[in-house]
Structure 1
Amino acid sequence: MSVEVEVMEEEWLHSEEQVRALLEWVRGREGVEPSVYPFMRVVAEQALRPGEARGLRVSDLVLPERGLGKLTVRYSGKAREIPLRSQSVEFLRAWIREAGLREDDLLFPDLRGRSASTPVYQPVWEQAQEAVLPRDERYSWRLGEPISILRESCLVKWLGMGISPFAVAELAGPALPALLPCGRRRDRLGPPGGRHGPSGVSEVVNLAPRSG
């Protein structure tokens, strides 16, 4: 028995190259609060809702010296665990050390130690889109997309790689019918337990795009 999942058309999303270019533009940008780049990178790589990322604390992370790490995310009163590749573990360890964060601190605080609000990162995100994205007639409308498009682009990339929607939903959080609510096309995807069934979670970790 197969499951129907809404899948966004490719032109609604950012490509892996565009996501990488957007993050590179933000990284080290003069005048940008230090937490903005790591915040955006985690949203893009782990397919988090921006609100989920804003609420993360250092204590939500398990960052071992070797092997996979773990991120615990909470949404609507429910918690889920997301495995972290070694590259993500190293990046987050470096960020915590650089920012001088303690276990109970917010992972992405603003300069006053509060949760990074939309006014902190939205102007930077808009500037990055203006600087990086093409301005041709077909794609120029995407310049106004919210930062959540990074999450959506990641989810659809995972699905496009053949990962089961059940495995993607386990990482993304929402129920299957709401996995990609803005979708334009219905694709029929297989049931759990197949080649990309529950084991697909580890495949997402192994095949997720790498950021510099």
Structure 2
Amino acid sequence: MTTPLRGVRRAGSTALLAELADLDDVLALRAALERDRPVGVRELIAAARTLLVTYDPAVTGHDGLSRTLAERADALPAQGGAVTPSTDYDTLVVPVRYDGPDLADVAELTGLTVREVIERHTTPLYTVAFAGFAPGFGYLTGTDPVLRLPRRSEPRTAVPSGSVAVAGGFTGVYPRSSPGGWQLLGSTDAPLWQEDRTPPALLLPGRTVRFEETT
């Protein structure tokens, strides 16, 4: 049987990095570890093809935890697994003004009208697969297959805060102004990151999200 685990590397003295074939395998392994968390594991932080596992060195260690990860990975279904929505938070509704500078280009690339692009983007229920890039930035799965477009050939030096965008099969919302190459569909005023809030991020891994058109 082929294992989805491609390798496990040390990440400092209290963490290890599991490398997997793809996002489905990452999320399936994370879900399996969350359902039955190994003793000593502190955090499970997913990315597109890796899972960072931090642990208490007084309770467990790299070698034993590596063996546990291999066993859990070998027990995963062959098809991997979908993102498991979190039950800790209600579905987040994000109001969006579909006024993005790439909206017309996206319509042309997909062969849709602008109205059809908006409908395709507001219909799905999304799930935050993992966070990264910047504090508060979540990579959302569930994007309509027609809108799974590549990044722009020329990234922008400054994407406005609150921009709602698609690229590489994901939807994302820029929590602050930053460089970026995603296709910008619109904008939102939702406070995605507030340091004085607990937790500070709205787009937490596992949370479900809907986009709702507003003016």
Normalised by the length of structure 2, the TM-score is: 0.30
Which structure's CA Rg is the greater one? Answer: 2
Point out the structure with the larger helix share: 1
Higher strand share: 2
Q: Please report the TM-score for the alignment, with normalisation by the length of structure 1.
A: 0.30
Greater relative contact order structure (CA < 8 Å, 6+ sep) = 1
